[in-house]
Structure 1
Amino acid sequence: MEQEQLEQTTALIAQDFGLVNASSPFTEGELLEAIANRVAEMLTENKDLLLSYMYRLDIDEGKIRFALSPLANEPAYLALARLILNRQKQRAITKLSYKPPKLDEWEF
């Protein structure tokens, strides 16, 4: 993932999931680990809030159900973290693609 996209993705995730060290640069693996830790915490403390966040992020409900099922290939917290990361990467790409040009004449 390119650096600008990674920074945008980190900012989006930090905003939604309250990652504390989001100001320091993350690699994609470190970001996935941070999300997974937060998701694991939310699964035990407030699963409804986690599912609400995922709904708000527009993550496919079928994918969420599969990630939470015993048939999933990896632990639920990690599968959900991957879904979140992938969705936020898509959002970051969209934001960067449609970034408006800077208007110099509007500066005060």
Structure 2
Amino acid sequence: MDQFTLVEQSYHLIRKDLGLEEEMEFGKEENAADRLLTFLTKQINHLLDHDLNKLLNALYRIDIPENKVKDLLHGSKQGEIAKNLAQAIINREKQKVMTRQQYQP
């Protein structure tokens, strides 16, 4: 699986798990991973400011360990919390995509 496909499939899982209404368009000429991180950081910032419970529930559904979430919330600099959470979500969703790909018949 190429990197673009991996990022795109991860995005669809993230969108479903976080219940995001806003869509992101991918362009082959752009760095999809960077665009996804920027897009998701913006969404996470919004949830941190307006709906922390929704974010925490989504992190649980995505299967980010509670101790990792606590470390990211308390160990990150103020302006980096959303970006670090977004990166953790992306990494976990990529793992899910790769595992599903590996075990497909």
TM-score normalised per structure 2:
0.82
| Counterpart-to-counterpart distance in 2, 1:32 and 1:82 | 7
**Structural RMSD (CA):** 1.8
Verify the 8 A CA contact 1:19 1:34 in the aligned structure 2: no
Runs of 4+ in 1 over 6 A off after TM superposition: none
Indicate the residue corresponding to 1:8 in structure 2: 9
How many residues matched? 98
The Cα offsets for residues 44-64 of structure 1, whole Å up to 9 and x where unpaired, read as 111011000001111011111
Structure with the higher helix share, 1 or 2:
2
- Cα shift readout 1:36-86 (whole Å, capped 9, x = no counterpart): 1100000111101100000111101111101111x3256211111111111
Find the counterpart in structure 1 of residue 64 from structure 2.
59
* Alignment correspondent of 1:25: 26
Mapped partners of 1:19, 1:38: distance in 2: 10
Q: Distance in 1 between the 2:21 and 2:39 partners?
A: 7
Q: Which runs of 5+ in 2 are unaligned?
A: none
Q: Which runs of 5+ in 1 are unaligned?
A: 101-108
Highest relative contact order (Cα 8 Å, sep 6+), 1 or 2?
2
- Name the % identity: 28
Q: Which has the larger radius of gyration?
A: 1
Contact 2:17 2:61 in 1 (8 A): no
**TM-score by structure 1 length?**
0.80
